[in-house]
Structure 1
């Protein structure tokens, strides 16, 4: 497996839903292609663009907004800052005027029907999520580049290049859970402290802390919006949003002006078992309903699994008195390291590994982070991550209609609850007597991914996707 240096800001990335591999990744790929044209001084020579979507990007691309993402990326818009309420307007304009302003500089003719092709029956061997951009130049030449969206918003070319950042000398190089535990034992540091020391190789502590808090704020804003927005999700399934109604039933009809006021009000609703279950489900639903609505979310480690880590963090904030900057930063640092171990040793792409690679990994990340914050030892933290993933092994990815809605949204609630349960089990256990290590589970997950039938890997060719008869619009 490929080994790489992964930062907390690689695992947690702000973007637009509904999918990190099918929306955020292709968006970034389109931006990279524009950058390639600019680097070759050929942007001003481009007369036309062809976009070819292969494999999983073709089969579930319309449901995931892949077509929307590549067009906005080619226009030079950024998913971190582009106003989500302007998406429909911009796409409609491209479609009606049959033009596209490449990189925001070069206006070219573009026909969505003939220049953006979904190659449903073609797949490239390097990775199922492939997109090729072809630029036709005025001098008769052409420039072509294929990118692979490998999960979590990561984009590479076939040589494995992409998402490049300066390679640094990490004080604690980590590829496996065994490596991580080695450094913890040798230094006596908590996992979050080891991660922070590594982050310092890239930037100052203040920059890291500010950046992680910005990630948290994006998560919190997404959750707050989701808990206060009703209606139905786009795409044709006619799925009703539930988080806002559940929030109202739990907290009453009062309105709260901001996230902090809302948190204070939630605390007053009590901490019974049923109440906590309802709230954790509400938190997770809110995030992924926003994700399904082309809202702004944070990959954790993907968009389809974006609700698990924020829901468990919100549980910790509200019901375990964890609401301070240090706790939030350390929670997210620990979670990111567990996610990076899965990415290095297996995959975080549902197109490669099914939903175990998304919900399973996010549940392991959340379980580990919660366990450390609740006072668990380093071994208990790794044990919690192992327990959480062990009970997601083999989970398939079978989105109905290619939309990140059914069963994806509810799976985030299940992943969050499993994470909390895994944490509690680990905290009440002796990790020295554990029969299964986290590295063994990572290895098993990868083997399971390789053995899994392709129809259960985000193609919508199997499972619920073929057993729920639906008539969806073509776009």
Structure 2
């Protein structure tokens, strides 16, 4: 059984895509680490990177080429100062030099050494990339990796090793097993996840780690609500969250994100205003994501705004007295539900369309909100099912290969659907439900396999085929 931690589902990184930016970035880092174990990096004279399938077709708009350069340069997506991203880009493009792991300088021209092979797909996944190292004109190392969604990376031919020393007290491959554990132990989902997570980390590490995840989510909302301008890439999409925020909050300024959150909670909470706030929260995160800002994959970058928006709704507008323990529990439940989709379907839009990103994040948020509002385990799983049911078949058709249209607005829609699904589940008896969470995950995966490839993050169909845009440079 695959063992996936909540911290695998929530990763701190930078935008705009977990599969097309964070994954290739991590693949480059991993290749360099493995290469350095075989040879001295100063023996490398030239490096080539080949991008296949979806990584090539939408790589420019998703910043895949930039992510590869950053990974090869030794930068880390968790810690890199955001301004540094554009500095590295400019340095490499103007000098045609790149410092491998930040140390060994080689000739590197992105237009020559990053090769887009959009007409070809490697056998194991739509997001494939091949790294090659040369010395004296001869190829002496080659490795293939796959970015399989959510920032997860797999090396070609690599099988998941389930034989490690980690023993989870409540391993769950699907919703039925999760429900059985909770019923037998008379536990909430979060109780079960708490027990499992302690196989990897101490209670203190778990709590502090998830609160740090929440802080990044909160900061991305706050930053997005106070940043105006036009997103780069050629579509000239105007950032809207700041204007939405101004209409709700006025011109008031705050010393930090926590002070801002406290004030949001005091704002009028009629139905119309709550809807506006939810849209504002979600779009703020994804405008940051589209600008190579720091966000949390939840479970992907393209869907990064859904869970923060629903969590902010819970904190500010649900009428509940929410503390840090509640926030941790929310993220625990959301993360666990996300693992069920990864184990039994996909969280990669290149494999499953946008149902695998916005749909999964909406299901995760719906389950978490339901438990936190006092729902049973059965109702939480029902909420996840309802949320995904109404995202089935959602295609991934990013205009210009950019994570902007329709991606940014879809996060607000996914958040609203999650809250609606939660409320429906809380007012329902799961014993009367016709569809289980496992049914819907199976159906989602079957739908993904039946979906035409042009609707899987290729920008060859849907909106992307009907709106013209000048493709950006790397």
Q: Under a length normalisation based on structure 2, what TM-score does the superposition of the two structures give?
A: 0.98
Question: Which residue number in structure 1 is paired with residue 293 of structure 2?
Answer: 295
Q: Structure 1 residues 286-295 or 152-161, which shifts more?
A: 152-161
Question: Which residue number in structure 1 is paired with residue 36 of structure 2?
Answer: 38
* Superposition deviation, residue 162 in structure 1: 7.4
Question: For 2:414 and 2:468, how far apart are their aligned partners in 1?
Answer: 26
Question: For 2:282 and 2:133, how far apart are their aligned partners in 1?
Answer: 41
Q: Does 1:392 align with 2:391?
A: yes
SS in structure 1 at match of 2:134 = strand
Aligned residues: 473
* Superposition deviation, residue 472 in structure 1: 3.6
Question: Which residue number in structure 2 is paired with residue 261 of structure 1?
Answer: 259
Distance 1:117 1:283, change over 3 A: same
Q: Does 1:326 align with 2:325?
A: yes
CA shift digits 1:15-51 (9 cap, x unpaired): 0100000000000000001001111133221110001
* Superposition deviation, residue 469 in structure 1: 2.6
Q: Does 1:285 align with 2:279?
A: no
Question: Which residue number in structure 2 is paired with residue 15 of structure 1?
Answer: 13
* Superposition deviation, residue 141 in structure 1: 4.9
What's the C-alpha RMSD, in Å, of the aligned pairs?
Answer: 1.4
Question: Which residue number in structure 1 is paired with residue 451 of structure 2?
Answer: 452
Q: Structure 1 residues 262-271 or 358-367, which shifts more?
A: 262-271
Q: Does 1:355 align with 2:326?
A: no
Question: Which residue number in structure 1 is paired with residue 380 of structure 2?
Answer: 381
Distance 1:163 1:89, change over 3 A: farther
Question: Which residue number in structure 1 is paired with residue 22 of structure 2?
Answer: 24
Distance 1:40 1:407, change over 3 A: same
Distance 1:205 1:96, change over 3 A: same
* Superposition deviation, residue 474 in structure 1: 4.3
8 A contact 2:99–2:105 mirrored in 1: yes
CA shift digits 1:326-373 (9 cap, x unpaired): 000000000000000000000000000000000000000000000000
Q: 1:80-229, aligned counterparts within 5 Å?
A: 80-138=78-136, 140-161=138-159, 167-229=165-227
Question: Which residue number in structure 2 is paired with residue 73 of structure 1?
Answer: 71
CA shift digits 1:77-122 (9 cap, x unpaired): 0000011112111111111111111011211111212111111211
Q: Under a length normalisation based on structure 1, what TM-score does the superposition of the two structures give?
A: 0.97
Question: Which residue number in structure 2 is paired with residue 236 of structure 1?
Answer: 234
Question: For 2:163 and 2:102, how far apart are their aligned partners in 1?
Answer: 25
8 A contact 2:347–2:356 mirrored in 1: yes
Question: For 1:258 and 1:11, how far apart are their aligned partners in 2?
Answer: 27
* Superposition deviation, residue 137 in structure 1: 2.7
Question: For 1:171 and 1:86, how far apart are their aligned partners in 2?
Answer: 43
Question: For 2:128 and 2:214, how far apart are their aligned partners in 1?
Answer: 31
Q: Gapped runs of 5+ residues in structure 1?
A: none
8 A contact 2:2–2:160 mirrored in 1: no
* Superposition deviation, residue 267 in structure 1: 2.3
SS in structure 2 at match of 1:444 = helix
Distance 1:465 1:141, change over 3 A: closer
8 A contact 2:289–2:295 mirrored in 1: yes
Q: Does 1:408 align with 2:410?
A: no
8 A contact 1:130–1:146 mirrored in 2: yes
Question: For 2:60 and 2:11, how far apart are their aligned partners in 1?
Answer: 22
* Superposition deviation, residue 471 in structure 1: 3.3
Question: For 2:367 and 2:405, how far apart are their aligned partners in 1?
Answer: 27
* Superposition deviation, residue 260 in structure 1: 2.1
Q: Gapped runs of 5+ residues in structure 2?
A: none
* Superposition deviation, residue 153 in structure 1: 0.1
Q: Structure 1 residues 323-332 or 140-149, which shifts more?
A: 140-149
8 A contact 2:3–2:162 mirrored in 1: no
8 A contact 1:155–1:162 mirrored in 2: no
Question: Which residue number in structure 1 is paired with residue 313 of structure 2?
Answer: 315
* Superposition deviation, residue 165 in structure 1: 11
SS in structure 2 at match of 1:216 = helix
Question: For 2:165 and 2:92, how far apart are their aligned partners in 1?
Answer: 39
